Structure 1
Amino acid sequence: MTRPLADLHVVECASFVAGPTGGMTLAQLGADVVRIDPLRGGSDQHRWPVAPSGASYYWASLNTGKRSVAVDLRSEEGRELVLALIAAPGPGRGILVDNVVGRHWMSPDRLRERRADLIHLRLQGHPDGRPAVDYTVNAEVGVPSITGPEGLATPVNHVFPAWDLAAGMAVAAGVLAALHERERTGLGRFLELALADVALAGVANLGWLSEAADRGRERPRHGNHVYGSFGVDVECRDGSRVMVVALTEGQWAALQQVTGTGEVFGALAEALGADLDDEAERYRLRETIAAIIRPWFAARDVEQVGKELDAARVLWGRYRGMPEVVAAHRAGRHPVLADIALPTGEPALTARSPLRLDGDHGPAGRVPELGRDTAEVLTEVLGLTSAEIGGLHQRQVIGPPAD
């Protein structure tokens, strides 16, 4: 099946999460994404988690579907090769995603001299050039201060790099927006995206900063409750835990119906003068509501709970460990996931595109290997001969030919 971006060619000079996620998103939609790597790999080449051999599951999965060109970026010859790849002619070429710092030879002005209609998206930490990662910007926008159990005095960091992944989606959107503009006007574009701005935009767009400005104080922590509505984790008879949520009147009605608590909540609402069809009221009385529904869950194993909640169309989810997710994949329940083999031969898991095109997630893509595609790309894009490729190898501008 031909993917939508099959005629697009992107050069990626980025490491860690945000930039590679943007490139991966474009690659999963069919773009030919060529990574530019140092000869011995970048700073994330061996980042955890790793296989027993030391091969990085992280690097392999974030770069699956891309081609890797390994070049001596300190040499003039190596830099010239990179510049030529970035500015290669063609309507689907001239697209660069990078997060480089201090490489004056890759400045927007220098690159524009090579190709005037270049689309160049540069990732930054802060908009003023200061470095940042997901875990530092998350701290700076206040999320750890409202995360965790009630009464806790210290911040709670998250383990999931949400802002990095959101930035990766913004990278893909920015590239496609600039490409659309270039097709319409013939003009290139230099775009900048700061991770700190992605985080600030996220909390602002959710209304969290407006609330803080209005109240003049921090939102209270509330553990596993859903802020502003009703949602809580409850334990089943077999020790399994589920998250139950009632955001809408329909979901709230379904939860009462399945747990047989409608009369109880009717009486509670009358006694307290509360309208429990209002999600703000459900949030205010969250502890009371949770105490009333918990016995229903405590009397049933999770399998029975799941069947009854599904039949009643209750919004819920079971807490699972990641080994359980892997087991569900092995049983064929997660088509978006795919098995791959690292270059060492060790098995790994990755994902296809979460977008389904006519019901199809598309292929997971080829597993990357540092520098494997160097000769192929230089020949295909720059027209270098085998003798020229051999000369570059002898001068150690590129790595050895792939086996």
Structure 2
Amino acid sequence: MTRPPHDTGAEEDRTAPSGPLAGLVVADFSRVLAGPYATMLLADLGATVVKVESPGGDDTREWRPPVRDGVSTYYLSVNRNKRSIALNLKDPEDLATAHRLVGAADVFIENFKPGGLVKFGLDPESVAERWPHLVHASITGFGTAGGAGLPGYDMLVQATSGLMTVTGAADGPPQKAGVAIFDVITGLHAAVGVLAALREREISGKGQHIALNLQSSALSGLVNAAGAVVAGGVEPRRMGNIHPSLFPYGPFAAADREVVITCGNDAQFGRLVAALGAPGLATDERFATMEQRNTHRGELQALLEERLAAGTADEWTQRLREVGVPAAPIMSIGEGVAFAEELGLDPVADAGGVPTVADPMGFSRTPVDYRLAPPGVDEHRAEILAWLEDREPTTAGASTGAQPSEEPARPR
């Protein structure tokens, strides 16, 4: 087995991947959010991820403001722990490099338009025939049948999935979520699918193709809202911040601002009204059960807010937590980061000099690490080409396991 380029042979290399996926090579031909989010998760877990970009770079490099040191924070948020090489697939030499990279990888992830890779010999059928060991994940917006021609933007999927019809004030217009939530959900599904296919490959010795699309991931991500339609024949409606099946469950006005209170059962409701000085509400026939509380939402909300007006949101949060009632003030994202820090959750990590939101997975033996800053366009070309050149010939169906060196990218 060839040694990774620039490997000094030292007993300990602090920049080498050490997570549970160390040794795995991912050829990442995806861009924007769903694919890059999936590959960042794999990279966080120790996989060596080579980000293949067009010479112009990932679209999100230009999605600004906001920026950090002139670089789009959108791009920075999903591209740590990767190396970049720019390839023009219409150029024969670059296409040959792309083929060598895919053949050297364990996983190939892309989000080209359906049929867009046929002319480059990187479509699912060609990949399966030429590199049968490969786990190949394709991400589209709306699948490869009737929706093949539809562009896969998260905003479109928020519209076509029904999310917007259940988001926003009851008497207001349909509303999108504050982030590209279905890109993220699809990225999570992609990462899970890749890991499952890798596990199956250990048994069969063969790779396989995984097809994902934003629309299907969105419907899955709508969970109980979609379940109400397919299992109950009930079309959910916008209810603002109110839960369709639970009450009290949402924001309620205190003296200064709203406080979120979530009662998921009768016992919590009993503790809530006792803390508010109105224990009799727990046995009032209008509110004694969850179904009755849902039926009499308006009456109960007025009674609760009448008592909540005696204290601030922070005061009620503290008091309710003390008696076992889930409660919290509504925070900004910055306040949310600060709150996580107060809880000792370490929400911010340094990736090669770039502050980044920490990976939420905690492993007892093989922790997530942050080896590389999000790369510049084509930053690691020489290293990647040298690695491909130095690799020993592989037998069909297996890569050597050697990876590019884990030198940290230059801080921005």
Instruction: Give the TM interval when normalised to the shorter protein.
Output: 0.7 to 0.9
* Aligned amino acid, residue 378 of structure 1: L
Alpha-carbon distance in structure 2 between the residues aligned to 1:339 and 1:302: 34
Q: Does 1:240 align with 2:257?
A: yes
8 Å CA contact retained: 1:232, 1:290: no
8 Å CA contact retained: 1:174, 1:191: yes
Runs of 5+ consecutive residues of structure 2 not aligned to the other structure: 1-16, 392-408
Q: CA deviation at 1:295?
A: 3.0
1:103 alignment counterpart: 117
| CA deviation map 1:72-102 (0-9, x unaligned) | 33311001101101101xxxx3310100131
Alpha-carbon distance in structure 2 between the residues aligned to 1:221 and 1:331: 34
> Judging changes above 3 Å, is the alpha-carbon distance between structure 1 residues 117 and 350 closer, same or farther for their aligned structure 2 residues?
same
1:387 alignment counterpart: none
| CA deviation map 1:11-67 (0-9, x unaligned) | 111111111111011111111111101223122222234316541111112001111
> Judging changes above 3 Å, is the alpha-carbon distance between structure 1 residues 62 and 134 closer, same or farther for their aligned structure 2 residues?
same
1:258 alignment counterpart: 275
1:356 alignment counterpart: 362
1:114-193 correspondence to structure 2 within 5 Å: 114-127=130-143, 128=145, 129=148, 130-152=150-172, 154-193=173-212
> Judging changes above 3 Å, is the alpha-carbon distance between structure 1 residues 355 and 17 closer, same or farther for their aligned structure 2 residues?
same
Equivalent pairs counted in the alignment come to 367
Q: Does 1:336 align with 2:347?
A: yes
Q: CA deviation at 1:328?
A: 4.4
Q: Does 1:377 align with 2:384?
A: yes
Q: CA deviation at 1:173?
A: 0.9
1:76-115 correspondence to structure 2 within 5 Å: 76-88=92-104, 93-101=105-113, 102-104=116-118, 105=120, 106-115=122-131
1:280-359 correspondence to structure 2 within 5 Å: 280-328=291-339, 333-339=344-350, 349-358=355-364
Runs of 5+ consecutive residues of structure 1 not aligned to the other structure: 343-347, 385-401
65-74 or 118-127, which deviates more:
65-74
8 Å CA contact retained: 1:352, 1:362: no
8 Å CA contact retained: 2:139, 2:211: yes
2:289 alignment counterpart: 278
8 Å CA contact retained: 1:352, 1:361: no
Q: Does 1:366 align with 2:372?
A: yes
Q: CA deviation at 1:322?
A: 2.3
Q: CA deviation at 1:339?
A: 4.5
1:67 alignment counterpart: 83
> Cα RMSD over matched residues?
2.6
User: Helix, strand or coil for the counterpart of 2:63?
Assistant: coil
| CA deviation map 1:291-337 (0-9, x unaligned) | 11213322223332222111111112220112323544676854132
8 Å CA contact retained: 1:309, 1:316: yes
Q: 1:229 pairs with 237, 241, 246, which one? A: 246
User: Helix, strand or coil for the counterpart of 1:6?
Assistant: coil
* Aligned amino acid, residue 235 of structure 1: A
The structure showing larger relative contact order (alpha-carbon pairs under 8 Å, at least 6 residues apart) is 2
Alpha-carbon distance in structure 2 between the residues aligned to 1:349 and 1:331: 18
Alpha-carbon distance in structure 2 between the residues aligned to 1:111 and 1:208: 35
Q: Identity of counterpart residues, as a percentage?
A: 26
Q: 1:11 pairs with 24, 27, 46, which one? A: 27
Alpha-carbon distance in structure 1 between the residues aligned to 2:281 and 2:203: 63
TM-score normalized by the length of structure 2: 0.81
| CA deviation map 1:233-273 (0-9, x unaligned) | 12333x2322111112222122122212211443x32xxxx
